[in-house]
Amino acid sequence: MVFRDYEEPNHLFAEGPLSRHLAAIKESASREAAAQHADVLLGKDIDDALDSITKHYRLRLPSLGKPEAEVLEHAIRYTVPFTGNAQLFQYRPSQFQTIFPIADLRHDSLIFEFPNAGTADEIKGRLNQELATIDKWLGWIKQDIEMFNSGLEDFIRPILESRKEKVERDQKLREELSS
């Protein structure tokens, strides 16, 4: 938990529904697929373009690393590194609870601050509570992004196929007009 008198706490997973964020990602992937350059598609299998687009838009669930403690004058600061998509800490999954964990989200770490009061075990206990809550939220997010990732290829393939057909029709028309 972040305890500061000068700013509001940073609630994780509180920016809005993850489904809205996933829809925006799908829309971006759709636009990229529909705008594939003719050279990428003409006379080629679309699998290379499909692989490139799905790799770019596939989401990776954050995985938390080992917390590192720093003793400050009036607080204990824990930095918890993570790998995966940081933006997933911002959105509410389809299943959730009303207790939102509090941490500062950095590019590749979560920052927790606790008052420098109590025993080391009490402070570690508070951190472990926050991390357990985050793990629960990440479990719910995992369900949503697994469904998203597994459907991404099937979503993009028909868009690429349609784009390729249009590019081939346009190429054939150019050839017929030139002869």
Tokens of 68: 């590192």
Segment 118-176, tens digit of pLDDT: 899 999 999 999 999 999 999 999 999 999 999 999 999 999 999 999 999 999 999 89
| pLDDT at residue 70, as a whole number | 96
Evaluate whether 82 touches 65 at the Cβ level (below 8 Å): yes
**What phi, psi does 125 have (nearest 5°)?**
-60, -40
| pLDDT at residue 1, as a whole number | 46
Of 115, 153, 161, 109, nearest in space to 134 by CA: 109
Segment 43-86, tens digit of pLDDT: 778 999 999 999 999 999 999 999 999 999 899 999 999 999 99
Q: Could you tell me how far CA 49 lies from the centroid of its own chain?
A: 22
